[in-house]
Structure 1
């Protein structure tokens, strides 16, 4: 999923689920920031203090990244949450929508309610949770399960999807067949391009088991929104049985479904603008408010507010450590990331027979 869902829809659902605007904003920002936190390593302060950060995405969402050890720490816990189903590692690593593993991850986040990283942890968790619908059938490790053949979508020919690629990727694939593309992009849904992340897309392909897979994203994205609403209601109520909580109101469901179906700009940031305008103009029943702009990097970003730093490459900078840093969204987000990753890789997945870190 892209920023239109991770920030826009998650904000809407959090508000409809009973969160106050400030809390909903923190959750939505953390949810989207998972795709934008690309700086890892130790942040060193002028007085000698240090703070560990862990990147939750590769720069520019690099689907061609083939460093499998790094993929297992980035794509697996944050973008392709394994369902832990099957016999082999490849089978267990495949992401499945609303899996038992995914629900347990949500419950663990709700359990942290009341801690100073709770909202950020919920946002990080919701990113991984909703992505189980979008990224189903793919794995965050190098795997034959990620092979894609005969990729087609209702609204796009092969020439059309080639035109949508970045210059580097287009150069790679414009004279090769899909079998070569799927080998060149072995991690996650790289070989399926952006179709898994477009709310309206209807598409199909043949997977690594030589089975045809038919996908219609809209009802799956709406199910993700519904379950997110239940998770938020449970969080607000302080209870872990989120599956049994009420979901979205019927009128809000209808309005959001129409919005996701008709908001088809290929630029996800422009889709976000449309969603924010809808919230402001009463398109979503029960909401009529301005959604603050999301700032990923530079002036106004979480990192800048906490440290004064604007660049990804901050290895030579030495900001001053302060109490303001300790109370910042930036520090809380990165600590939430470390908590989330530990719970998944060290506690939940090993009980499902899956050791990836």
Structure 2
């Protein structure tokens, strides 16, 4: 999934489930920032050396086992079950017991500092269990696929050059499927290497199931304290329509979610900006100091931020603390 679902869809669903506006935005931002947190080395903030938790790689998949076990597996390609003494199944399954356990663990922290970030991080991984089903976060032949087709105008059309180029990418995650698993409106199919039967993926239907499951989880969390702003039956048609909209331009799709948010709740859903939490927490002298997505590890050593008295109470810090807890929870039960 991408920004459209992890931020905009989650914000609409959370607000409808009963979260207030500020809570829904914070939860949704944390959900999306899992795909944007590329900060990987200790960062000097005033007199503090803060060590962030990297949860994302932008660009080609990294193939080291360290990256697989610290980033891909805990946050994007969660195995379906904790280790029980036998072989570990690394292939992600929709709404798996392990994915539900992550959300339950986050829900137990309601009211504690940073709990919205904790829940947002867990919901990112939970949602990805639908989009990334059938793939794993390790470098393995189980991720080797071929013969990709996309359904356009009711006809299956081969991707052409993408089938050739993507086949040269490493067998990790959905690298060989490009971004198709993450696009809400796409219906596509592929074959696992050596198989004869294609796997059909109807993303609009799968993403709607994820949205419904998230709504249900959030309602169970709030049931005794807050009524919903909109019941799922009233919301489902709108969500389904937005997800299945064949419009491919990302900004237009996201604006459509903002318009729905405004219409349903009478509030403005901010446009997502990956730099917002970084900027508020670190108060950079130069904005370019926050543009570290392509940094090498040594580049972080030159960064110096003044920070502020509320740095440790910032959402950016809360996000990294939440990510650390989730990573520990996953790895201590797997590896």
1:204-219 pair list within 5 angstroms: 204-208=189-193, 210=195, 211-219=197-205
| Per-residue CA distance 1:197-249 (angstroms, 9 max, x = gap) | 1112211111146142111111211110011112222333479xxxxx9x952
How far residue 84 of structure 1 moved from its aligned partner, in angstroms, is: 3.0
Pick from 180, 184, 194: which aligns with 2:179? 194
Structure 1 residues without counterparts, runs of 5 or longer: 163-172, 240-244
1:167-206 pair list within 5 angstroms: 178=164, 181-206=166-191
8 Å CA contact 1:13–1:248 kept in 2: the answer is: no
8 Å CA contact 2:13–2:215 kept in 1: the answer is: yes
8 Å CA contact 2:21–2:267 kept in 1: the answer is: no
Are positions 1:140 and 2:137 aligned together?
yes
1:296 aligned partner = 274
> For 1:88 and 1:116, how far apart are their aligned partners in 2?
37
SS state of the match for residue 147, structure 2? Answer: strand
> For 1:109 and 1:141, how far apart are their aligned partners in 2?
25
How far residue 44 of structure 1 moved from its aligned partner, in angstroms, is: 1.9
2:282 aligned partner = 307
Structure 2 residues without counterparts, runs of 5 or longer: 285-289, 293-298
Gap change, CA 1:121 and 1:138, over 3 Å in 2: same
The CA RMSD over aligned residues, in Å, is 2.4
1:96-175 pair list within 5 angstroms: 96-155=93-152, 157-158=157-158, 162=161
Aligned residues: 316
> For 2:254 and 2:17, how far apart are their aligned partners in 1?
20
1:44 aligned partner = 44
8 Å CA contact 1:229–1:248 kept in 2: the answer is: no
| Per-residue CA distance 1:132-152 (angstroms, 9 max, x = gap) | 000000001101110111111
SS state of the match for residue 222, structure 1? Answer: helix
> For 1:73 and 1:21, how far apart are their aligned partners in 2?
32
Pick from 235, 260, 281: which aligns with 2:243? 260
How far residue 46 of structure 1 moved from its aligned partner, in angstroms, is: 3.6
1:77-88 pair list within 5 angstroms: 77-84=74-81, 88=87
Are positions 1:325 and 2:311 aligned together?
yes
Pick from 271, 274, 297: which aligns with 2:253? 271
> For 1:238 and 1:322, how far apart are their aligned partners in 2?
37
8 Å CA contact 1:2–1:268 kept in 2: the answer is: no
Gap change, CA 1:248 and 1:190, over 3 Å in 2: farther
> For 1:278 and 1:209, how far apart are their aligned partners in 2?
44
> For 2:231 and 2:178, how far apart are their aligned partners in 1?
30
8 Å CA contact 2:38–2:57 kept in 1: the answer is: yes
8 Å CA contact 2:9–2:211 kept in 1: the answer is: yes
> For 2:82 and 2:208, how far apart are their aligned partners in 1?
24
| TM-score, structure 2 as length reference | 0.87
8 Å CA contact 1:82–1:139 kept in 2: the answer is: yes
| TM-score, structure 1 as length reference | 0.82
> For 1:56 and 1:306, how far apart are their aligned partners in 2?
18
Pick from 313, 328, 332: which aligns with 1:342? 328
8 Å CA contact 1:206–1:212 kept in 2: the answer is: yes
> For 1:258 and 1:45, how far apart are their aligned partners in 2?
45
